[in-house]
Amino acid sequence: MSNQAYLELNNIDQMFGSFQALKDVSLNVSEGEFVCFLGPSGCGKTSLLRIIAGLDTPTSGAILQAGKDITHTPINHRDFGIVFQSYALFPNLTVADNIAYGLVSKKLSVNDRRARVTELLATVGLSGSEGRYPAQLSGGQQQRVALARALATSPGLLLLDEPLSALDARVRSHLRQEIKQLQEKLGVTTIMVTHDQEEALTMADQIVVMNQGVIEQIGSPQDIYAQPSTPFVAEFVGEMNFLSAKVSGTGQMQSAGLTLRCTPSSHLTIGDCAQLAIRPEDVRFHTEGKQDNLLNAKVLHLEFLGSRMRSLLKLENHERPILADISMNEMSRLSLVQGQNVVCQLPHDRLHVFGGEA
């Protein structure tokens, strides 16, 4: 893999009248990489995908694919395959004709087209479905056909626009694994738009978290989850508890009259308002030994989640309760019950520090 990015987005702006959908978006995607654009509705992720596909033209900025400027290249001269949320299959065409649709303009012979369709159906696990029509297929099967059609011309770039959101949870989970395995096997550079954090965390090599037309953070799933760079990313990806605090010293915060240790922050000074954030699974229950960041709490609610128990804790002097996840093994040792008073710990190395008020 060369150092040159396969896809480069440089300073992309997108205006719709007076509304700015994208603000100075820049991004490099390496060849063979699986990238997810993740964010809430209206964050700009679909606008960005449409610009890459040539369905929309950016107000300013440039797009390069394999070193070639494609900012104003017509759709039919771009090297990509696309799968839409709604499948967008032709209902009056057979599975074979749907898949072969893009091959007709490539001047392939009938026999070559037939061989390619057979190969692709085997790849997506639908061998023998050539003569069926979309209406005779389940949602998951239709999405496989849409995927085969997008891959038919062996594109350099595969674009997936919320491809699994119309499917039920079980099919979605299964197809998620299949798409990822297929992408790895083919080595095709892939960009997927999703608002589903679990999809992004399980499928992507890199996640691009977007919010209000800007990129908040780019990183591996592990980085995005473990080291969120903004409160928005922390809250949007996974569960996160927030506590209001003020900087009282180096690596030290005051929160509701309590002094809490944390990793020192280079961008905050004494007296600054801050937010302390911690994942529910990082909250510990104190048993013995000298430890820091211990807080008295009351168990307000317990929720069984299969492999773990989620507790809602009212911290002493804090108005906003926090969530704490406990493994079932730990739960059997603690024997927590609703209404119980407990001592919990917020380990200093698990606290994330952000500027501003919670």
Residue 84 sits in a domain of what CATH number?
3.40.50.300
Residue where a domain terminates, one of 201, 216, 234: 234
Same domain, 176 and 265: no
Same domain, 39 and 163: yes
Residue 142 lies in a domain: yes
Residue where a domain terminates, one of 234, 268, 302: 234
Residue where a domain terminates, one of 194, 212, 234: 234
Residue 1 lies in a domain: no
Same domain, 321 and 339: yes
The span from the CA of 31 to the CA of 51, in Å, is 19
Same domain, 226 and 340: no
Same domain, 65 and 152: yes
Residue 28 lies in a domain: yes
Residue 350 sits in a domain of what CATH number?
2.40.50.100
pLDDT tens for each residue of 274-307:
999 999 999 999 766 678 899 999 999 999 999 8
| pLDDT of amino acid 140 | 92
| pLDDT of amino acid 169 | 86
- Axis crossing angle, helix 110-123 with helix 139-151, rounded to the nearest 10: 130
* Residue given tokens 């299969």 in the structure block: 306
Same domain, 230 and 247: no
Residue 313 lies in a domain: yes
Same domain, 109 and 224: yes
Q: How many CB atoms lie within 10 A of CB 67?
A: 9
Same domain, 102 and 151: yes
| CB contact at 8 A, 297 and 315 | yes
| Structural domain span for residue 20 | 7-234
Question: Burial of 155 by CB count in 10 Å (0-12 exposed, 13-18 middle, 19+ buried)?
Answer: middle
Q: Could you tell me the pTM of the whole model?
A: 0.91
Q: Is 330 helix (H, G, I), strand (E, B) or coil?
A: helix
| pLDDT of amino acid 170 | 87
| CB contact at 8 A, 49 and 193 | yes
Residue 96 lies in a domain: yes
Same domain, 205 and 327: no
Same domain, 207 and 221: yes
Share of the chain above pLDDT 90, in %: 81
Residue 63 lies in a domain: yes
Give, rounded to a whole angstrom, the gap between the first and last alpha carbons of the chain: 43
For β-strands 68-69 and 60-65, DSSP reports them as antiparallel
Three-state SS for 228-252 is: CCCHHHHHHCCCCEEEEEEEEECCE
DSSP code of residue 78: S
The two tokens of residue 319 are 């108005």
| pLDDT of amino acid 289 | 64
Same domain, 27 and 126: yes
The count of domains in the chain is 2
Amino acid at the residue 92: N
Same domain, 280 and 135: no
Residue 2 lies in a domain: no
**All residues at 6 or more sequence positions from 227 whose CB lies less than 8 Å from its CB, including other chains:** 219, 352
Low-confidence ranges of the chain (pLDDT < 70): 1-3, 287-289, 358
Residue 84 lies in a domain: yes
| CB contact at 8 A, 326 and 303 | no
